[in-house]
Structure formats: structure tokens, C-alpha cells
Amino acid sequence: MNAMLTSSQRQLLRAISESGPLSRTEMAQMLGLSKAAMSGIARDLIDLGVLHETEIVYGQGRPSVLLDLHPECAFFVGISLLEDPAPMILSDLNGKIIARQAMPLSRDPKVIAEAITEGLPSLLEAHPDAKEKLSGIGVALSGFVDESQANCVKSTLLGWQDVPLAKIIRERSGIETFIENDAKAVAVSEKLFGSAREIQNFSVVSLGDGIGCAHFIDGRLYRGNHGGAGEIAHCTIEPGGSPCRCGKRGCLDTVASMKAIKEMSRAEGLECTSLSDIENEASTGNAAAIRILHRAGSALGLAIANLIQMNDPGLILITHVEGSFEGLFGTVVNQAIETNVLPRYAGQTPIRIKRVDGDVWARGAAGIAAHNFLIGSSY
Amino acid sequence: MNAMLTSSQRQLLRAISESGPLSRTEMAQMLGLSKAAMSGIARDLIDLGVLHETEIVYGQGRPSVLLDLHPECAFFVGISLLEDPAPMILSDLNGKIIARQAMPLSRDPKVIAEAITEGLPSLLEAHPDAKEKLSGIGVALSGFVDESQANCVKSTLLGWQDVPLAKIIRERSGIETFIENDAKAVAVSEKLFGSAREIQNFSVVSLGDGIGCAHFIDGRLYRGNHGGAGEIAHCTIEPGGSPCRCGKRGCLDTVASMKAIKEMSRAEGLECTSLSDIENEASTGNAAAIRILHRAGSALGLAIANLIQMNDPGLILITHVEGSFEGLFGTVVNQAIETNVLPRYAGQTPIRIKRVDGDVWARGAAGIAAHNFLIGSSY
DNA sequence: ACACTAAGTTTAGAAAATGAACAAATCAAC
DNA sequence: GTTGATTTGTTCATTTTCTAAACTTAGTGT
């Protein structure tokens, strides 16, 4: 239903998704079109149910009517293949989670497609609206995804190589489907729904068991030439350091991922099962805990500083699941960023910390579907 | 004369500049237009003298006529403010250098504009064609330049802050003028004239007294949020290492720039004035020379590896003025890249080495002018 | 010489934009 | 209140840009 949007219509949707509600006149200025053209485009999109009039702003002269996306004009399903059971959520066009369930994870694409298809009815059960207007499925996974957001080029976690997962799910479920790398999916959903809406250049660093990263450049997700842009986890931070499961040494992942921090704690004989535990130990003066947090924080900070130097993003968004950035770890990270960035730049790149819950990945996946619905893959 | 090109015409020029000569049918496919539309666009551009028919390719059916940019349809002047005297070159639309001279360098923008204007007649003297079709001036400088390629936000070397250099030169000379950071200018000219024409994502690392770097992403120069994308020289490579003039420690610049290499040699008591000298010493077994080249090479390699991990470019183009990459330095660089890149990726990112002469910067500057003539700043 | 093939052009007409005039909805001022 | 100023948004005739389909052109293969 959505494939036949004009290029201008798409541009408009993109603009609104970036800046929030706009009057027709503002839209016209933004896209460089005449008021006349804008009027027609807006009317069409309102008729389609994608836009609707919201606020009326009074000023001098005729008041302007703000148009915004109609959040209930389309619904999306997002699935994360990062955990077992795999979270599965239903979201609207604002990224609001409307329903949530889980499905069994599998390594067999066909079984996944089957599980998704079977899970849909119950996910949509209490939401007849959503059932009718379900416009896309998004899947987040750990691995490399191609430009078309259809094929998984390689996933070590899932043991895949060149798996056309999107096609398989699409064929089984009958719903438009797109897949994406986990960190990239989060970046897209932050651009669409989150705190980076209006920012054209930013990077997301997602801190969890592993470390993920993705870049938005000139308002678009930058996937890299082999889909590997943002593989910050395997930047060498401690040359000659500990061996990494990737085969080389001293990767950021071996020092600053939650998994690494926990392993280091265990090796030091600390009985810690979470970042908060270690932070607690450190705050009571435990030297080992302090050392570990220092090492991890400096490494992450250095990597982020290098990212800033390299790409000069307008925002670094650090998402983390566990613990908080209020403690020693966060302080060290910030310090390390400051000391490793060109002094002239220090403090010029906003660092935003965002604590996220277990829905991040599924929500990100839904964002991929929403992005394809709204804007499409090309400009 | 050139400001009123259609968006389609610009797209076409971009496509040809990327892929070389194309038949009308190929063009139509590339831009997603009908043959009919293409026919008209091509005719207009031929009438304007921008395109011309070159080769005829015989196959089955009617032979196709390849169209290419007419290299003599426009000429550009490029000036490098990196040296004194400042090189000044005249180039055609292929980047071919047609004439060359020098002008005195100054820190006063007005004096620069004056020198350029006064230098033009003699530069153009033997080329009446070029005089008539001079379509732009480009200026390369060390520092930060804003998005519009008109204002120098900051240049430590020139002691500038917010200098509207392009406007000053434009007003004095009457010629359309654009300025750009040195490394970024080289990247643009490599994209336009050089070895990265068909590549959408690549980074240029320019090795000279200092180290410069610039990224092309999705076919466009990526300037970064503050114009600082590519400041690889001040990535921290040796945490806690030697102090850098930027104020922090262990920057790549303090270890791998030609200046740093020479300084380290002097500190070690080597009587070397060029990279070749040090390479020679190393090849005869001089331990200090070997150590220096190892240290510099590993640092540069690590930085490039981090760049690859971070941005997954389709090509790294290393330009260097002095010496060669055949010796120890080059070997170490390559080795360090290999060992610090995800093993799966190793060798996947082509590294191209290009020895350049003293014209690089001026040629890059001319490329900026040519790029603005052909494609304009926006898409 | 004959069909066959593919490139490029022509034509009429659809699609998408513009510009200028106009209608609508408010504020401000008397 | 009525009037004027002001700005939004619409209408409509016109222009620009692109398309589809038929046609012309210039070759190859048999």
C-alpha cells in the first residue's frame, strides 16, 4: 500500500519525522517547494491517513495548522534474535510499544519465520487496529546485513552465511520484512523515535555483553562498504593485550564489554555478577574493582575519543543496559574522552547516556520496519 | 553561467564523473529515467559544451555513442596556502595541470585575494581558451572550513578565525571561489580525477609533514559536525606518549608524521634529512633507524586499522610526498593494519599507496572548484 | 538482401511543480 | 464593532519535467 509514495511525499515524511509537527508553509520552505505544491502533497498524505492536523498555532495573521504523523496509521512488529526466547514487540509509528511477547529462538531461518508467523495473531489479538494496519516486520540480529536489509551476510552467533532471512519471513508471513544488525537498528530507532531525531551526524555506542556501534551520517545510516561500519568493539585499544575471540589482541571488547568486566572481576576473585556490584566494591575502596573499572572506562573513553576525532559526530549516544553511568565507570569514561580529544574540541561533542531496558533490540527492529515504511531505503 | 543546471543534469554529470563515458541508454538506466528524458538532457548538455560524443561502441543492434565530459569546457585555478610561495595551478575538467606558477603567501586574506587576482593573467596567458572558460577558483588550506566551503572557521597555521576567504577572493577577482581543508580537497580531487572515482566510501590519508585524512561516505565528502571529520592525526595512539603541539599526548602526529620521524631521528643522533635516508640506514641494520620506522609504521597502521574498523571504507588511499612505501616503513604499516583489523576483514579493504608531488594541494584545490562546477555542493 | 537487434529520437500526453490571485482566519487599532 | 494588516493555505492556469510508445537509425548475423 505504501510503495507508491512520491519522492516528495517521502521527503516530507522524513522532514516531519526529524523536526516534529510542521505547518504546511514551514514544510514548503524546508523542502524548497511552493506552498501550492505542498498543499497538494499534504492533502494526499492526510487522505492516506499518514498525516493529521494537530495543534493550531496563533501568531500574527492566519493561524498555522501543524501537521504530524498519525501514530496509529501503521504498526510494526520488531523481533530481536539476540536472546532466547526472542522478544517480539508491536509498536506504532511513534515507537510506542503496544504489546509484547516472546518466541522461541532458532538457528533455522524457516523455523524463525514460522515462529514469527505463528506469534503474530496473539501479539495482535487485543489490537484490531494494528492487525489491519500492520505494515512491516523488523528483525535485529548480531551480524552483518547487506544494503537491502534483506540478507544476513554473516552471523557468527547464529552460524549464518548469506541467509536471505527477510525474504523467508516475508514469504511465510506475507508481511514486508527487513532485517538489520543490532546496533544499527538501535541507531535507526533513535533517529526515528528517540533522542537523535533532529541530528544528522551521530553515533550510537551500545554497551552490553558486547559493544556495538553504528553511525548516522548526513541523516542516513552508514552501513560501510561491507556492512561493517561501527565495529568499534574490535578496534585495538591495548596493543598486544588479551586475546579476543575474534582472533586478535587488545580489542575494546576484551576490556570494556560487560562480559569482559565481569570476567576480569571473576579473575580477580571478586564475587560480582553485575556492574553495580563492582561499582559498589569500588566505592568501598576495593583496589581490584577500581582497577578494573579504570581499565575498562579508559579503554571505552579512548575508543570514543578516537571515534570523535575520526568522524566528528554531532552526538555520541551511549546506551547501556546494566548499572549506571553515575559511578566510577562513567566518570572514567568521560575523563578519558576529554583527555583524548583535541583540546579545542573537548566538550564540543555532546555525550548522551541512555539507560535502556530489554526491549531495545526489539524496539530497534521495529524502528527498521518503521523507517522503511516512512522513508524507504533510498533518499 | 553554470548555476542553472537542472538537478537531473547535475546527477548525470556526477554519474559520468564517477563511471567515465556512458551511452545515453546506460545513463537513463543509471538515473532511473526514460530514454526520452535522457535524450533531451544529453542534448542540452552537449549544446552547453559540457558533454561531447567520444567513442562508438559496436554490439548487436545500433551502436551506442558514448558521451563524456568535455575536458576543455571549463577551467579551474587551484591554490595551496600550505607553502610559501603558494603554488597556483590551472587545470581542466580532467584535473590535468595546464599551467603552473607561484604567488607570495600572506596571512592577510585581502592580500591573498590581491595576489590571486594579479597572478591570474600570467597563469592564463598562453591559454586563451582557459581565460574565457575559467569557471572557478579553489583554495586549499590547513584548518577548518565550513559547510559552504566559503569560510575558514579556524586555522592555526594562518592564525585565522572565521575568515570569509571565499567571499573576499570572489569579490576581488570576480571568479566563483571555494575553499577547503587540505586533506578534504585532496579527497575530492581523488574522487573526481583520481583513483577513487567509482568508489562511494573511501578515506584518504595524506602523509607529509603532518598527517591529514578525509572521508568520502555515500559518494559525498563527509565534513563532520564541526568540519573536523578525519582529524586522525590527533587520535591517541600511544596513551601517555610524547606531548603534541595540540596539547594532549601520544597523538598519531607525534609518532608517524614525517616531521615526527625526522625529529626522532635527530634525537637518536641520526643524520637523516628525509625518509629515504632513514630507510637506507635501516636497511643497513641501524637499530635506531629500524626502531623509529617500526614505531612510526605501527602507529600509522594501528590508526588506519581503527579507521577501517570504525568506518569500513571501500578503499584507503595513502598519499605521501617523500620516500616510498617499498621499504621497512611501508611493510610495517601494512603489517600493523593486518594485525589490527578483524581477521575476517584482513585484506578486504584495499590499501592503495600513491606517491604525489608538490602539486597535490593546488590540484586538490582546483578539484574543489571543479566539483562545485560539476555537481554543486548539494545532491 | 533479409530479418533481427538495440540505440536513440520524436511525439503526445501525464505528472509534478510554479506563480499569482484569492479566500480564510486571526491580531491590532481606532 | 468595524476596518486594516498580516500571514496561512487553496485554487487555477501555466510551465517544466518526465513517460510511453511508436518510430528512425545503424549496425550484426545468415
- Which residue, among B97, B100, B177, has the nearest Cα to B139 in the 3D structure? B177
pLDDT of residue B291: 95
- Put simply, the answer to whether A218 touches B217 (Cβ < 8 Å) is yes
Cα dist from B287 to B269, B284, B327, B369, whole Å:
12, 9, 15, 47
How far, in Å, CA of B138 to CA of B126, rounded?
A: 21
Give contacts of B341 with chain A, Cβ < 8 Å.
Answer: 248
CA end-to-end span of chain A:
19
pLDDT of residue A112: 98
How far, in Å, CA of B4 to CA of B301, rounded?
A: 45
At residue A214 the predicted structure's pLDDT band, cuts being 50, 70 and 90, is very high
Q: Is the CB of A37 under 7 A from strand D?
A: no
In this structure, chain B runs to a length of 379
What ranges do the domains of chain A cover? 7-69, 74-190+360-374, 200-314+322-355
At residue A379 the predicted structure's pLDDT band, cuts being 50, 70 and 90, is low
How far, in Å, CA of A114 to CA of A95, rounded?
A: 25
Q: Is the CB of B24 under 7 A from strand C?
A: yes
- Mean pLDDT over residues A112-125, rounded? 97
How far, in Å, CA of A276 to CA of A286, rounded?
A: 14
pLDDT of residue B249: 93
pLDDT of residue B287: 94
pLDDT of residue A10: 95
B220 and A CB contact within 8 Å: yes
CB of B247 within 8 A of CB of A343?
A: yes
pLDDT of residue B201: 98
> Residue A215's beta-bridge partner residues?
A203, A222
Q: How far: A59 CA to C30 C1' (Å)?
A: 21
A231 and B CB contact within 8 Å: yes
- Mean pLDDT over residues A185-203, rounded? 96
Cα dist from A229 to A210, A216, A376, whole Å:
16, 10, 20
- Put simply, the answer to whether B312 touches A228 (Cβ < 8 Å) is yes
- The distance of A199 to chain B (nearest Cα, Å) reads 10
* Domains A74-190+360-374 and A200-314+322-355 fall in the same CATH topology: yes
A255 and B CB contact within 8 Å: no
Query: Residue B62 has what DSSP assignment?
Result: S
pLDDT of residue A231: 94
Cα dist from A196 to A102, A201, B98, whole Å:
28, 9, 48
pLDDT of residue B273: 84
At residue B271 the predicted structure's pLDDT band, cuts being 50, 70 and 90, is confident
- For B58-94, the pLDDT digits (tens) are 999 999 999 999 999 999 999 999 999 999 999 999 9
Q: What is the 3-state secondary structure (H, E, C) of B319-379?
A: EECCCCCCCHHHHHHHHHHHHHCCCCCCCCCCEEEEECCCCHHHHHHHHHHHHHHHCCCCC
CATH number for the region B200-314+322-355 comes to: 3.30.420.40
Q: How far: B10 CA to D17 C1' (Å)?
A: 15
pLDDT of residue A2: 57
- The distance of B155 to chain A (nearest Cα, Å) reads 12
- Put simply, the answer to whether A340 touches B313 (Cβ < 8 Å) is no
pLDDT above 60: residue B298: yes
B295 and A CB contact within 8 Å: no
- Put simply, the answer to whether B309 touches A232 (Cβ < 8 Å) is yes
Cα dist from B35 to A19, A78, B23, B29, B63, whole Å:
38, 41, 11, 8, 15
- For B19-33, the pLDDT digits (tens) are 999 999 999 999 999
pLDDT of residue B293: 96
Determine phi and psi for A187, rounding to 5 degrees: -60, -45
- Determine if residue A320 is left, alpha or beta; phi over 0 gives left, psi from -120 to 50 gives alpha, anything else beta: beta
Q: Which is the CATH superfamily of the domain at A74-190+360-374?
A: ATPase, nucleotide binding domain (3.30.420.40)
Cα dist from A283 to A41, A279, A280, A291, A293, whole Å:
59, 6, 5, 12, 11
> Residue A23's beta-bridge partner residues?
A66
Q: Which H or E element spans position B214?
A: strand B211-217
- For A44-84, the pLDDT digits (tens) are 999 999 999 999 999 999 999 999 999 999 999 999 999 99
- For B98-154, the pLDDT digits (tens) are 999 999 999 999 999 999 999 999 999 999 999 999 999 999 999 999 999 999 999
pLDDT above 70: residue A378: no
> Residue A26's beta-bridge partner residues?
none
Across chain A, mean pLDDT equals 95
- Which residue is nearest nucleotide C24, judged by alpha carbon to C1' distance? A62
pLDDT above 80: residue B198: yes
pLDDT of residue A57: 95
- Put simply, the answer to whether A302 touches B236 (Cβ < 8 Å) is yes
pLDDT of residue B123: 97
CATH number for the region B73-190+360-374 comes to: 3.30.420.40
Give contacts of A345 with chain B, Cβ < 8 Å.
Answer: 226, 228
- Which residue is nearest nucleotide C25, judged by alpha carbon to C1' distance? A62
pLDDT of residue B182: 96
At residue B2 the predicted structure's pLDDT band, cuts being 50, 70 and 90, is low
pLDDT above 80: residue B363: yes
Q: How far: B38 CA to C2 C1' (Å)?
A: 32
Across chain B, mean pLDDT equals 95
pLDDT of residue B378: 67
Cα-to-chain-centroid distance, residue A234: 19
A245 and B CB contact within 8 Å: no
pLDDT above 70: residue B187: yes
CB of B323 within 8 A of CB of B279?
A: yes
Minimum CA–CA partner of B314 in chain A: A225
At residue A333 the predicted structure's pLDDT band, cuts being 50, 70 and 90, is very high
Q: Within 7 A of a protein CB, which nucleotides of strand C?
A: 4-12, 16-21, 23-28
- Amino acid type, B125: E
- For A261-301, the pLDDT digits (tens) are 999 999 998 888 888 999 999 999 999 999 999 999 999 99
Cα dist from A372 to A123, A135, A149, A150, A157, whole Å:
21, 10, 10, 12, 26
Contacts 24+ apart (CB under 8 A), B159-162: B159/B107, B160/B107, B160/B109
Q: Is the CB of A31 under 7 A from strand C?
A: no
Cβ burial B56-83 (10 Å sphere, 16+ → b, else e): eeeeeeeebbbbbbbebbbbbbbbbbbe
B342 and A CB contact within 8 Å: yes
Q: Is the CB of A58 under 7 A from strand C?
A: yes
> Residue A138's beta-bridge partner residues?
A78, A178
pLDDT of residue B147: 94
pLDDT above 90: residue B272: no
- Which residue, among B203, B204, B302, B305, has the nearest Cα to B256 in the 3D structure? B302
pLDDT of residue A4: 78
- Mean pLDDT over residues B9-13, rounded? 96
Give contacts of B306 with chain A, Cβ < 8 Å.
Answer: 235-236, 306, 310
Q: What is the fold, at CATH topology level, of the domain defined by A7-69?
A: Arc Repressor Mutant, subunit A (1.10.10)
How far, in Å, CA of B374 to CA of B16, rounded?
A: 10
Minimum CA–CA partner of A337 in chain B: B236
- Put simply, the answer to whether B309 touches A215 (Cβ < 8 Å) is no
Could you tell me the three cell numbers for B307?
Answer: 579507521
- The distance of B97 to chain A (nearest Cα, Å) reads 32
Within chain B, residue ranges assigned H as helices are 7-19, 24-31, 35-47, 109-124, 128-132, 165-173, 182-192, 253-256, 258-267, 275-283, 287-311, 328-340, 360-374
To probe the interface with A, which of B222, B310, B377 has the most A CB atoms within 10 Å? Answer: B310
Q: How far: B7 CA to D17 C1' (Å)?
A: 11
